[in-house]
Structure 1
Amino acid sequence: MSAVKNVIKDNYNMMLLKDYLRTAIKDAGFSHVEISKTPTGTRVVLHVTRPGIVIGRKGSGIRDLTEKLEKDFGLKSPQIAVNEIAQPELTSSVMCNRLASLIERGTAFRRATMWTLQQIMNAGAMGVQITVSGKLRGDRSSFEKHSLGILPRAGHQATIVVDEDITHVPTAMGYIGIRIRIAKKERHIPEFELKGMSAAEIETRRIAKEKADAEEKARTESEQIKLDAEKIEQLDLMEEVEEKIK
């Protein structure tokens, strides 16, 4: 087999593996996986928001997952390590999955999008852009793009600062595509520095977020989605307020 075919085969297998992990450990808040070959086998690093769910009771989850990766995906002697994501709201893949789950539960896509935007910015992002496309309101396909903060869109800076991911969610009208781009402050370069927010305001926002997290700590991603959906229902969008005034 030629080198080109080997590359294609490896990329295809990686795609299948990511699709499997996104479903199999969904409640653990799966973000991405890193695979590297070692002299003793294959090292697999899973990046998740809740490592305990992947590990399982007395390591049962790791053992089952190891057998699955070796048998169905052909990984030689997989050695699985689990890495916890410190700030899920600043990880585009995690937020894509949460937004997709909210829409799949029946939450209005615009409400879910506005909620996700606010959650990302409250976590300390420099900027965020969410694009939702598909049959959103009728038979014709359309898209909506919502942004907050500062987000480099092109050039070398964008590759350094921006974390991006894309996912799709099935609905009764067809698939809806979700794309989230997050600019992180810790990676910013001086010309993209977010101005106008004092250190006191940033600290106040951080304390408020920590207090909210302490009050309602979800054990799984499914519980987190349920809590978010309940909070979203209490929001009033501007267009709904206008309708009430009329």
Structure 2
Amino acid sequence: MIKEFLEYKLARLGYVDSEILKTPLGTRIVIYAERPSRIIGKKGAVVKELSQILGSKLGVENPQIDVIDISKVDVPEMFPKVVAYRIANAMAKGIRFRRVAFIAIRQVTEAGARGFELVISGKLSTERAKFEKYKIGKVYKTGADSTKTMRSAVVHVLLKPGIYGIKATIAPANARFADDFKLKLPVRQEAQAQ
């Protein structure tokens, strides 16, 4: 519930993910953001407002909010929410969706992702809604890898023709998938007949 609230409240401010940790002093909430300064606000105004709302309406006892820059933790292009928001912002500025999609594909593959799938849907070129799918590398769609290892995010953006949906799915470079294996060479034992 806390994560949903943070996602709703901080969607336009560069929110990526959050961790909730229970401590003896209260509840520590670590927010990972693309632009931490926008989430903190002037003199910490946004963080103070968030902690008041979390304490009063959601019943979180003594909330302590930390905001961390996502680029210090991992490569931002490995987070699908960051990629999807960049695409949505570029489309809102008037850049064509295909150009933005190919730029996103290039950035994610240069960051070292194993696989990337992007689906953009809406009134792309005509009055009739359709979708375009871009895929590069390995993208797991079934099994435990699809639910546990793959990262996925959906972002909606309202433009003049209507609402557009952007779904980004990334197979991270450092993750271990079920089809990864290494062969062990047999160990030769010396002849003990001597």
Normalising by the residue count of structure 2, what TM-score does the alignment of the two structures yield? 0.79
| TM-fit CA distance, 1:181 | 0.3
Pairing partner for 1:49 from 22, 25, 34? 34
Question: Could you list the runs of 5+ residues in structure 2 that have no partner in the other structure?
Answer: 182-194
| TM-fit CA distance, 1:17 | 3.4
| TM-fit CA distance, 1:123 | 0.6
Larger Rg: 2
Cα distance, 1:99–1:192 mapped onto 2, change above 3 Å:
farther
Cα distance, 1:124–1:14 mapped onto 2, change above 3 Å:
closer
Distance 1:90 1:68 in 2: 31
Who is 2:160 aligned against? 172
Amino acid at match of 2:134: H
Pairing partner for 2:102 from 102, 110, 114? 114
Q: Is residue 160–residue 187 contact of structure 1 (8 Å, CA) maintained in 2?
A: no
Who is 1:15 aligned against? 4
Deviations 1:54-82 (A, max 9, x none): 34566555334423444565543211022
| TM-fit CA distance, 1:38 | 4.5
Distance 2:127 2:180 in 1: 40
Distance 1:112 1:169 in 2: 14
Who is 2:19 aligned against? 34
Who is 1:161 aligned against? 149
RMSD: 2.5
Judging by fraction of residues, say which structure has more strand: 2
Pairing partner for 2:90 from 91, 102, 108? 102
Distance 1:31 1:58 in 2: 22
Question: Could you list the runs of 5+ residues in structure 1 that have no partner in the other structure?
Answer: 1-10, 194-246
Distance 2:122 2:42 in 1: 41
Deviations 1:36-95 (A, max 9, x none): 555543322201133344345665553344234445655432110223323111101111
SS of 1:191's equivalent? coil
Distance 1:119 1:80 in 2: 31
Cα distance, 1:175–1:56 mapped onto 2, change above 3 Å:
closer
Judging by fraction of residues, say which structure has more helix: 1
Distance 1:128 1:116 in 2: 10
Where does 1:1-246 land on structure 2 (aligned, <5 Å)? 11=1, 14-23=3-12, 26=13, 29-55=14-40, 59=44, 61-71=46-56, 73-85=58-70, 86-189=74-177, 191=179
Q: Is residue 156–residue 166 contact of structure 2 (8 Å, CA) maintained in 1?
A: yes
Say which is worse superposed, 44-53 or 88-97, in terms of deviation.
Answer: 44-53
Who is 1:201 aligned against? none
